[in-house]
Amino acid sequence: MAASIESVRQAGYRDEEAWISWALLEVSQAISNAQTIDEMLEHVVRLTPLLAGVDRCAVLLREKESNTLVVAQLHLGRGQSEEALDGLRLSEGDVPLLDLVRVTRRTQYVADAHDSDLVPAMWREAVGSKSLVAAPLVMQDEVAGILLVDALESDHDISQRRQDIVAGIARQVSLSLENFQLQVQEQQRIRLLQELEVAHRIQTSLLPDVVP
C-alpha cells in the first residue's frame, strides 16, 4: 500500500479532487473487507497517515454511559511510544478541541497547538502534537466518536486537501459503524425470534394431545 501511494505521488498526481477520490476509494475498499469493528478501525488508523500525510492517527469512540471518549484504535510512527495515547480516556472539558467537534459536528483544524486555547498544555506535553485535525464520527445524528490525526513537526502543515481526506475518511467510518450496528440489531432480532420459537415449541409440547 505505501509503495502504491508513493508511486502515485511521484507520478505527479496533481488533480486535488482526483487524489482525494482515489484516497477515499482505497479506504472504502479496506473498510468493506473488514469483518469486525476492530478490524475496520485498524485498517483506518493504518491507512489514514499514509493517505493524509500525517504522523499519527487515532479513533476515539464515545462511551454512552460515561460520555467519555476512549481510544479504540491507534497508529503511531516508528519508534514512537503508545504510552501517552493508548487507553486514553477523555471527559468533556479535558481537550476543548474535541468538545468543539462534538458540539459543532464539524471537522476542526488547529495549525499550531502551542498557540491555541483548544489544545491544553497537558496534551501538548504528554502527546506532543504540533498541529491536529479532528473529524466527527456521526451515527444517527449523534457524535459517536472522533477521528483524530496530528503532525509532530511545527513546519508540517496539514493542508486543506489533507483535511478534506481526513473528513472524508471520517464519513466513511461513520457509515461503516452504522452498518455494523444494523447488523448487530438484525442478529439480535433473529436470536429473539429463535428463542420465542423454541419457547413456543416447548410450551406446545407440554399441552395434552386431547383437551378433556
- Over the stretch 38-74, which tens digit does the pLDDT of each residue have? 999 999 999 899 888 899 999 999 998 899 999 999 9
Within a domain: 205: no
Q: What strand order describes the sheet that includes 142-151? A: 89-90, 68-75, 56-63, 142-151, 131-139, 108-110
pLDDT at 58: 94
Rounded Cα gap, residues 35 and 1, in angstroms = 20
Q: Do the domain assignments include residue 104? A: yes
**Does any domain span residue 86?**
yes
Whether 102 maps to a domain, the answer reads: yes
| pLDDT tens per residue across span 145-192 | 999 999 988 667 888 888 999 999 999 999 999 887 777 666 777 777
Is 85 a domain residue? Answer: yes
pLDDT at 31 over 70: yes
Q: Domains in the chain: how many in total?
A: 1
Helices (H), 121-159: 121-127
The DSSP bridge pattern shows strands 108-110 and 131-139 to be: antiparallel
Asked if the structure places residue 209 within a domain, the reply is no
Q: Which residue do the cell numbers 479535558 mark?
A: 94
- Average pLDDT taken over every residue of the chain: 83
- 203 occurs within a structural domain: no
Owning domain of residue 79 = 2-198
141 or 210, which is more confident?
A: 141
pTM of structure: 0.78
What pLDDT score was predicted for residue 100?
97
Identify whether 208 is part of a domain: no
Higher per-residue confidence, 84 vs 52: 52
Length of the chain: 212
Residue 104: give its domain's CATH number. 3.30.450.40
Instruction: State the Cα–Cα distance between residues 110 and 150, nearest whole angstrom.
Output: 9
Contact in structure between 98 and 60 (CB atoms under 8 Å): yes
pLDDT at 116 over 50: yes
Question: Do 57 and 77 touch, CB atoms closer than 8 A?
Answer: no
